[in-house]
Amino acid sequence: MKRIVTILGARPQFIKASVVSKAFEQTGKLQEIVVHTGQHFDSNMSEVFFKELGINTPKYNLQIGGGRHGGGWELHVVAEGESGQLTESVL
């Protein structure tokens, strides 16, 4: 089974991911690995979307918190991957 990583951090991404994640699941050929940036650490800004939209529970939560804009969180994701904290092999 092929694996795909979905990185989520903000409300628009949660909404899009809910549709895409269901499509991945329906194929039966893709295993989705969800990574939550933790950009919105308040449960009303992130956790509620996972529950209400039926998005898979994140395998990883980077817990970067708010305040990272303009590419800061993307660099954090790269740094986490390079440090070995994200240990997934996907093709």
- Look at residue 78 in the predicted model and tell me its pLDDT: 52
- Look at residue 38 in the predicted model and tell me its pLDDT: 80
Q: Where does the pLDDT of residue 73 fall: very low under 50, low under 70, confident under 90, or very high at 90 and above?
A: very low
For 2-83, CATH number? Answer: 3.40.50.2000
**Pair 53, 26: CB distance under 8 Å:** no
- Look at residue 90 in the predicted model and tell me its pLDDT: 47
Over residues 43-69, the mean pLDDT reads 78
For the chain, the structural domain boundaries read 2-83
Strands 30-36 and 2-8: parallel
What pLDDT digit, counting tens, does each position of 3-39 carry? 888 888 888 888 999 999 999 999 999 999 898 888 7
d(CA 71, CA 47): 23
